[in-house]
């Protein structure tokens, strides 16, 4: 018997596909991962359950302040200049349209970058970065 090719599991009998985390398990929500680039005071990106029908504007007005509101740079964010990424892919959100409409499905990763607000990239004093 040889080593199975990548993607196949060596096993003594048929190995069933048991996929955890299916969207239907989240009570009408989907999981969304959120990350504010350069702001590593929050040591990891967040995972939150949100309705697929949530308008993008509500994500910005209601969800993000909950998650990031304590950060001193949060109030200064200019949402018009914010850059949005679906994983690596840049996109321009329509604040009136839903997550679904933007193709932001279950377990999607939304990253945003706020030019001029650089968090960890900013120096608080020589050699010491901000948070």
Partner 1 sequence: MEPRATKKKLSLKERYVAMTRGLAWNTTYQPMEKVFPFDRYEGIRIHDWDLWEDPFRLTMDTYWKYQGEKDKKLYAVIDAFAQNNGHLGISDGRYVNAIKLFIQGVTPVEYGAHRGFAHVGRQFVGAGPRVACQMQAVDELRHFQTETHAMSHYNRHFHGMHAPGQWFDNVWYLSVPKSFFEDAFTSGPFEFLTAISFSFEYVLTNLLFVPFMSGAAYNGDMATVTFGFSAQSDESRHMTLGIECIKFMLEQDPGNVPIVQRWIDKWFWRGYRLLTLVAMMQDYMLPRKVISWKEAWEMYAEANGGALFKDLARYGIREPRGWKDACEGKEHISHQAWALFYQYTHAAAFHTWLPTNDEMQWLAEKYPNTFDRYYRGRFEHWGNVKRAQGRWFNQYLPMLCQVCQVPMIFTEPGDPTQICFRETTYSGMAYHFCSDHCKEIFENEPRKYVQAWLPVHQIYEGACYPDDINPASPGDSPVREVLRFYGVQAGLDNGDYETSEDRRNMDRWKGKVATVEGAE
Q: Which is nearer to partner 1, 23 or 96 (CB)?
A: 23
Nearer to partner 1, 15 or 91 (CB): 15
- Residues contacting partner 1: total by CB under 8 A: 56
Among residues 52, 57, 82, 109, the one that binds partner 1 under rule CB under 8 A: 109
Q: 88, 13 in Cβ contact below 8 A? A: no
Binding to partner 1 by residue 2, rule CB under 8 A? Answer: yes
Residue 21 CB burial class (10 angstroms; 0-12, 13-18, ≥19): exposed
Three-state SS for 34?
strand
Closest CB to partner 1 among 18 and 80?
18
Altogether, the residues listed in the chain come to a count of 131
Residue 21: C-alpha distances to residues 6, 30, 62 (Å): 23, 10, 25
- Contacts of residue 21, defined as CB under 8 A and 6 or more positions apart, other chains included, come to 31, 107
- The pattern of x and - marking residues 58 through 97 that bind partner 1 according to CB under 8 A reads --------xx--x----------------x----------
Give contact residues for partner 1 (rule: CB under 8 A): 1-4, 6-12, 15-22, 25-27, 29, 31, 33, 35, 37-38, 40-49, 66-67, 70, 87, 105-109, 111, 120-121, 124, 127-131
């Amino acid at each position: 018997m040889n080593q199975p090719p990548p993607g196949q599991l060596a096993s003594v009998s048929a190995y069933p596909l048991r996929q955890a985390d299916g969207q239907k398990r989240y009570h009408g929500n989907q999981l969304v991962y959120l990350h504010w680039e350069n702001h590593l005071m929050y040591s990891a990106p967040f995972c939150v359950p949100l309705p697929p029908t949530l308008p993008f504007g509500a994500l910005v007005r209601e969800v993000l302040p909950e998650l990031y509101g304590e950060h001193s740079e949060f109030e200064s964010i200019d949402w018009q200049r914010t850059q949005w990424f679906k994983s690596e892919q840049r996109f321009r959100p329509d604040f009136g349209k839903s997550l679904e409409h933007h193709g932001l499905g279950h377990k999607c990763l939304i990253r945003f970058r706020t030019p001029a607000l650089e968090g960890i990239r900013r120096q608080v004093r020589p050699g010491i970065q901000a948070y």
